[in-house]
Amino acid sequence: MRDVIVVGAGPGGYHAAIRAAQLGQSVLAVEDDAVGGVCLNVGCIPTKALLHAAGELHRAAQAADFGLAFARPEMDLDKLGRWRDGIKNKLTGGVAGLLKSNGVEVRRGRAHLAGGTAVSVNGEALEARSIILAAGSEPVALPGFAFDGDRVIDSTDALNLERGIPERLLVLGGGAVGLEFASIYNRFGAHVTLVEAMDQILPGADGEVVAALARSLRSQGIDIRTGTRAVDMDRDGDALTVRLRTHSGVEERLQADRVLVAVGRRPRSDDLGLERAGVATDKRGFIRVDDHMRTGAAGIYAVGDCARPPLLAHKAMKEGLVAAANAAGRDAVFDYQVAGVVYTEPEWAAVGLTEAQARERGINVRTGVFPLAASGRAMTLGAAEGMVKLVGDADNDLLLGAHIVGLGASDLVNEAALALEMAATLTDVAATVHAHPTLAEGIMEAAEHFHRRAIHIRN
């Protein structure tokens, strides 16, 4: 009898396993694939490696603008793949070492709930006082666009640049995955068309900030079509012809050499045996949990992508810590600000409420905006595209949200997340002395603009 069995060793699972062990629990982690989950193996980490490489190509071309001309870069895609995999292997090996050093037993296999707080792994029945489900997610297929790993691919297949860069890539889906791969392939020389069914990329994000990102991506050569759906596809040998239809009914046939389906991900909850343990899911298959990460079944918790959106590794990590604490008899609650990031160039990042969400709540909203074109640091970095937008309550000065497009947005957003966690006011943010020249000054400047007393832009 173990104290805790963790099903899945991705970001949520390995955080839960290590924290439970740190709290004195005997822990078994069960993983049916590779330690580190999607994030370390075929998601966050390898994708960011390719984005960095693609960015270096882009920056080398831009350097001519300030007098540094380079010869045309030579691309060794096989070497790039080995570098990408080397990073992944170091990190997954590190996680495996951390699990071992914390006394977590790791077993390979697919776990199935067997009733109560028991699981079956490779036919062996195992019991624990608590179970933490961290089974992760997988790409959603699109009717008429079945994955074949060659011409119609998912995000895992898209990592394999070694197969060659297609002349024409069609990306279906304007979320984080679609945008990041559109950027990668565009910079490696593909003509990229991105189709999004909603009226903007990153549906639900702040429209003003997303519009700035879309302008930048289009200026880089990515053909973005919003309000458009992919209806069906014809194959003629290696050639693909996709029928697109706009919301107004206008149709177009677009030819592509490869189609990346990036319309979302679904929880891997189908074959966990949830019904045997009385664990309920919603209509999309996400396991129902409360803010303690408890399911409706005693002693069973769920975290990460299999539990609820947003499907973000850092959210899963924190949920894993909360579940582990509760499994060990503590009283922990998930009540945190969770930032979202898209690692395009420029990056997009946001935390807290959008302007529209705040208005829907009846808040007397005011915003402060600072364009990076007015940032000395952004100009010296050749990255003056983008903006910082802060959303606040005009009645009590509370910061409600931050939305950023620009170089380093993935790092800048954490300052805003900290401010939100501490219930900071816009006055607090504006009064914080920021080093000069830095990109982070944009947050201070946006806070000053919120109060209509900005120095470096008009009020």
pLDDT in tens, 323-365: 999 999 999 999 999 999 999 999 999 999 999 999 999 999 9
Indicate if 36 and 86 belong to the same structural domain: yes
60-75: average pLDDT: 90
pLDDT tens-digit series, residues 385-437 = 999 999 999 999 999 999 999 999 999 999 999 999 999 999 999 999 999 99
pLDDT tens-digit series, residues 123-140 = 999 999 999 999 999 999
Q: How many structural domains is the chain composed of?
A: 3
Judge whether residue 237 has pLDDT over 90. Answer: no
Give a yes or no: residue 80 inside a domain. Answer: yes
Domain that holds residue 431: 346-450
Indicate if 258 and 270 belong to the same structural domain: no
64-80: average pLDDT: 92
Query: Residue 174: which CATH number?
Result: 3.50.50.60
304-310: average pLDDT: 97
* Rounded Cα–Cα distance for residues 346 and 367 (Å): 22
Give a yes or no: residue 121 inside a domain. Answer: yes
Judge whether residue 307 has pLDDT over 90. Answer: yes
Give a yes or no: residue 333 inside a domain. Answer: no
Long-range contacts of 370-373 (CB under 8 A, 24+ apart): 370/442, 370/443, 370/445, 370/446, 370/449, 370/454, 370/456, 370/457, 371/457, 372/406, 372/407, 372/439, 372/442
Last residue of a domain, one of 241, 263, 285: 263
Cβ(5)–Cβ(111) below 8 Å: yes
57-62: average pLDDT: 91
Q: Identify the active-site residue in 247, 292, 314, 436.
A: 436
pLDDT tens-digit series, residues 371-380 = 999 999 999 9
| Polymer length of the chain | 459
175-190: average pLDDT: 98
Confirm whether 403 is a catalytic residue.
no
pLDDT tens-digit series, residues 245-267 = 999 999 999 999 999 999 999 99
Indicate if 274 and 215 belong to the same structural domain: no
* Rounded Cα–Cα distance for residues 205 and 426 (Å): 21
